A and B are shown apart, each in its own frame.
Chain A
């Protein structure tokens, strides 16, 4: 008699066990986070396939110290969590945000992003098709930014315990020797350059929520900044760099002004804003300088290097609208003001909470 291992039925079962996973459900169910076969199916069919990272490891990834060491002298490490409603919006989705957000956090510190992790918290009932699109978009965004997603984790929570899906990404980058950026090192004769038009992401999300009944599509500006940063760092001495995210330009400038104890004057006339965003803000009583962005940076450079920095930024597709928005001055230290363009000057502070539309 044949040994059990050679029995055709056994072989069939063994073949079945080894076939690559496939999700059959239309929506995420609790079992997808349960550690069993359903979870393996989800990871193989969606995470591995759509991210396009066949070697992604849920437990740990390994990196060669000597390879990293050849690219710079310091490792940069950052983490960020992403929650956004709706998950998909003109110009991007939560997956693209999760890649670009962490890439940008590394990039504006002068680091070249190398690896990302991907932690998923999925709400039971999330459509598999949506999840597939978002993971595919993450994979595309990672390839565009030149980073690899090397490890991850997936959890499923019961319906009502999360808002469809949350993503956490952590990132590791390498800072080339000689690159030293700090919000504390801005000088009183520096100028501040913004890399593009402001407020697109904040306006895009508010419009995409569909609560405003506005017949316009403003695309988010979500994009990886690392290539633009490298271009800028090669062209001009940069003292500080920040990505302009939540809180908008006003928050970033105030943080830099306080950290470096310099004054700043923003020229309201030069703030680059898309006409649709400008109209949107007028309508709701919002200010583009308080709206979020996901693909814009602010850089402080010595005023005599401003032209070189601007030329480099404008020569890059992501920096075509780059412009000097503010000038530093010694006093009043830590205070940002705005020249309204109308002859008046006023304080430009951070918002206390979220931007709230006015009644009338």
Chain B
């Protein structure tokens, strides 16, 4: 595939890994005292596992899989609300595919669908708007999910619905923003992250400036990265270079797509349609201030939370589930009490086990080869 294969060249990958080994040696770090690098975005997690990057890296580098999988951080209560909306008479509930299996307190959307709810998998909010137009006698609710990567497309679709006077299209917004999330991780008392592989797609929208505080205030190197294996490896090289130089800066590895200022049109649409919620609940991380987005009053007539009497109950995360610790990087997925026993991809308890971007699902599906020896040596 043109424009993709160039970034999957094994020879170039081996060179980067060799460079990383030199850097780690120069930094004097070892497996006992590893350099912890968090990749914030689920897309990176997916890439790391798909290409087996963890296996290639020296033991002195530990990758921590961050909270940037929008499906994984969706709290139980919001899934219950989604099921509630999907079960309203006359509603067509339109959702991205990977949200459909996330467990709620009673059931997932997949179970609700089997019980008769009209739930459709869509690939974009415009697909959902098209559903609304072709089903004028039904109410179509779109499950708005994701960070700034997907917010602009939801915003533009709402603007289109408003302009066209569509009255049967609603958005159930669970959109979230990346910066407060990273701040929450940085403020966690047990934080031990040395640097961040920053999200590529989100940054394409918001630009690199919003991350400045991470370097300035928290003194952590931050490199915005592309999603191909060479991108991720090169970003790690750049992080280690900063550490070697004793610096903490925001750098952009993903220059072929990410501009310093981001995308002004997308930012404009987001700002026009959405505003920050005071609080938003995250699975495993609790409530984070100003991290969620809701529709502005001007779009109240298109807001599913105002059109329907959504229960909006806060539901505690399942007790056995340690998704939060996994998302913060304080434990590895296989160190969770229920990993691979009660919680498997077939019977997920936490959302990290559902999405292919979730750290637990990735370890369960792809990682046994590398984690089994770890289990053996750690005596777990």
Contacts and interface: CB of A to CB of B under 8 A. Distances in A.
Interface of A: 211-213, 275, 278-279, 282, 284-285, 335, 337, 340-347, 349, 352-353, 356-360
Most buried by B among A279, A282, A349, A356: A356
Interface in B142-184: 145-147, 149-150
A292 B97 CA distance: 18
B98 A282 contact: no
Contact of B52 (A344, A352, A357): A344
B361 to A, nearest CB: 9
Contacts of B312: none
14 contacts: A213-B127, A285-B356, A341-B8, A341-B10, A343-B56, A346-B55, A346-B369, A347-B365, A347-B368, A352-B101, A356-B101, A356-B121, A358-B96, A358-B97
Contacts of A212: 123
B71 interface: yes
Most buried by B among A211, A341, A342: A342
B46 A345 contact: no
B229 to A, nearest CB: 5
Given A347-B368, A357-B97, A359-B70, A342 B51 contact: yes
Given A356-B98, A359-B71, A344 B53 contact: yes
Given A278-B1, A343-B52, A359 B96 contact: yes
B216 interface: no
A340 B52 contact: yes
Contacts, number: 99
Given A211-B123, A347-B368, A358-B355, 9 more contacts: A275-B1, A279-B1, A282-B1, A341-B10, A342-B56, A343-B14, A343-B55, A356-B98, A358-B356
Interface string B355-380: 11100000001111110000000000
Nearest to A212: B123
Classify chain B: how many residues form its interface, as a range: 35 or more
A256 B21 CA distance: 39
Given A343-B10, A346-B367, A352 B346 contact: yes
Contact of A344 (B42, B55, B127): B55
Nearest to A355: B97
A290 to B, nearest CB: 10
A278 B4 CA distance: 11
Nearest to A279: B1
Contact of B367 (A282, A340, A347, A360): A347
Given A342-B8, A346-B52, A337 B96 contact: no
B8 A358 contact: no
Give the interface SS of chain A, mostly helix, strand, loop or mixed: loop
Nearest to B68: A360
B346 A342 contact: no
Given A279-B1, A344-B51, A360 B149 contact: yes
B122 interface: yes
B122 A211 contact: yes
B156 to A, nearest CB: 15
B43 A342 contact: no
A353 B369 contact: no
Most buried by B among A278, A343, A356, A360: A360
Contacts of B123: 211-213, 284, 357
Contacts of B70: 359-360
B127 A211 contact: yes
Contacts of A346: 49-50, 52, 55, 366-367, 369-370
A344 B49 CA distance: 9
Nearest to B101: A353
Nearest to B12: A342
Contacts of B10: 341-343
B69 to A, nearest CB: 9
Contacts of A356: 97-98, 100-101, 121
Nearest to B8: A342
B173 to A, nearest CB: 14
B275 interface: no
A82 B50 CA distance: 33
A279 B346 CA distance: 28
Interface string B1-27: 100100010100110010000000000
A343 B97 contact: no
Contact of A343 (B17, B49, B50): B17
Nearest to A281: B1
Closest CB pairs A-B (n = 5)? A344-B52, A356-B97, A346-B366, A344-B55, A342-B51
A340 B201 contact: no
Contact of B56 (A285, A337, A344, A357): A344
B54 interface: yes
Contacts of A349: 365-366
A360 B43 contact: yes
Interface string B48-68: 011111111000000000000
B369 A358 contact: no
A356 B355 CA distance: 9
Nearest to B366: A346
Contacts of B127: 211, 213
Nearest to B347: A352
B50 A358 contact: no
Most buried by B among A337, A343, A344: A344
B367 A359 contact: no
Contacts of A359: 70-71, 96, 98-99, 145-146, 149-150
B345 interface: yes
Contacts of A275: 1
Nearest to A206: B123
A238 to B, nearest CB: 29
B233 to A, nearest CB: 9
B201 A360 contact: yes
Contact of A358 (B98, B229, B368): B98
A285 B56 CA distance: 23
Nearest to B41: A360
